[in-house]
Structure 1
Amino acid sequence: MTSTDATTGLQLSAEAQDLLFRDARTANTFSSEDVTDEQLRAIHDLVKWGPTSMNQQPLRIVLVRSDEGKQRLLPHLSEGNRAKTESAPLVAVLAADTDFHENLPRMFPHAPNAKDMWAGDDGFRADHAKLNGTLQVAYFILGVRAAGLVAGPMTGFDAAGVNAEFFPGGREKVLVVVNIGKPGEDPWFDRLPRHDYDEIVTTV
């Protein structure tokens, strides 16, 4: 489905472009094929290089594999998200660590006082954790696709309930829940439209 015109100016192969974007879809059903630890480590080893402000890297992940784990998660999801989550071989609960600044002496040694700079304003720090964590969520989804898997990201859940269940310490705040696996029977909704370049881009 790739056209020559669509790939002009890009160094990434047409096949890789299709894998990551044009042919990639949000899955709503999943096969029973497992997602391996090797695949997950390969995804992390790729997407960890995506940029964040001051190398904050606030993303934290809880992997839900077991039936017990899913039974803890499912009650907090919107009703329409429960069946597909129950069928997915793996579910990733992606959250932002609002105390990311504690790691900055190692993550961003260019600014020795970075930890102290971020320590004083909890709200400002939480905003940055959410922004940069959300960037990392996008990288994560692309990494899942790069592994030949499909992702089903969801924001339809009770955030307070998910936080209490999986992040009881209070420093991590859930951003997105992502179902991961191989597509099952009739996995896609119809392809929805996207904005054209001239609709969203202006030059000054």
Structure 2
Amino acid sequence: MPTATATVDRETMHQLFEGRHTTNLFSAGEVDLELIQQAYEDARWGPTSMNSQPMRLTVLRPGPRRDAVVEHFKGDNGKKTAAAPMTVVVAYDPDWHEHMPTLFPHVEGLREKFSGMEEFRRSMGRDNAFLQAGYLIVSLRAHGLDVGPMAGLDAPGVDAEVHAETGWKTLMVLNVGHGPSEHEGAQYPRGARFSFDEAAQVL
């Protein structure tokens, strides 16, 4: 008989999901880069299609490089990001297929097969990077951090600032810090969520 996996206690689940909010404005205090690194190391084990792992991260501390990126944000997103202790740009690598011999070695020829399928690679890269971003958000929360995801930005503009050499394509940013500030807009009131019965069908 296979050994059953131990369940996570309800308090931990609460801290990862219902008990946490998207954060717009963070309390003072720097974020240790090692926390971001460890959160990624844990999140990378989440499944992706054919273990493609297309997500790429650019970590921005406060400073000139982040200031340049902020110029490409829309609305209040720039102000929120400029005030955050740390920002992670989540992107995908359009050339993720180049790593398939290492990531999915038991099926030969995938790198060559996908080399001429640019639209397929774009779609699969985006889908699976978004999936990985979800894992990362939960992992960051598990390491005691609060997260403010946002996608209101000019992605090509951000790419020009930080991805010109890598060719990665920006999807979103995650602002990260240690808890919300005392400002009334630090976290919006909890929005409604669909129940299982509203969101699922059992056939």
Give TM-score scaled by structure 2 length.
0.92
Code of the residue aligned with 2:105 in structure 1: it is: P
More helix by proportion, 1 or 2? 1
Q: Percent identity?
A: 35
For residues 133-172 of structure 1, the aligned pairs below 5 Å read: 133-169=129-165, 171-172=167-168
Match among 8, 22, 42 for residue 12 of structure 1: 8
2:181 alignment partner in structure 1: 184
What's the CA shift for 1:169?
4.1
For residues 1-204 of structure 1, the aligned pairs below 5 Å read: 11-169=7-165, 171-182=167-178, 183-186=180-183, 187-204=186-203
What's the CA shift for 1:37?
2.0
C-alpha RMSD of matched pairs (Å): 1.3
What's the CA shift for 1:31?
1.7
For 1:115 and 1:66, locate their aligned partners in 2 and report how far apart those are by CA, in whole Å. 38
Code of the residue aligned with 2:193 in structure 1: it is: R
Structure 2 gaps, min length 5: 1-5
Code of the residue aligned with 2:182 in structure 1: it is: E
What's the CA shift for 1:170?
6.8
**3-state SS of paired residue (1:76):** coil
1:40-82 Cα deviation digits (max 9, x unpaired): 1210111010000111000111011031122111110012112
Of the structure 1 ranges 63-72 and 164-173, higher mean CA displacement relative to structure 2 is found in 164-173
For 2:200 and 2:8, locate their aligned partners in 1 and report how far apart those are by CA, in whole Å. 22
For 1:197 and 1:43, locate their aligned partners in 2 and report how far apart those are by CA, in whole Å. 29
Of the structure 1 ranges 193-202 and 160-169, higher mean CA displacement relative to structure 2 is found in 160-169
What's the CA shift for 1:167?
1.3
**3-state SS of paired residue (1:12):** coil
Contact 1:19 1:148 survives alignment (8 Å): no
For 1:156 and 1:135, locate their aligned partners in 2 and report how far apart those are by CA, in whole Å. 19
For 1:196 and 1:109, locate their aligned partners in 2 and report how far apart those are by CA, in whole Å. 40
Code of the residue aligned with 1:23 in structure 2: it is: G
For 2:34 and 2:57, locate their aligned partners in 1 and report how far apart those are by CA, in whole Å. 16
For 1:200 and 1:107, locate their aligned partners in 2 and report how far apart those are by CA, in whole Å. 34
What's the CA shift for 1:19?
1.2
Give TM-score scaled by structure 1 length.
0.91
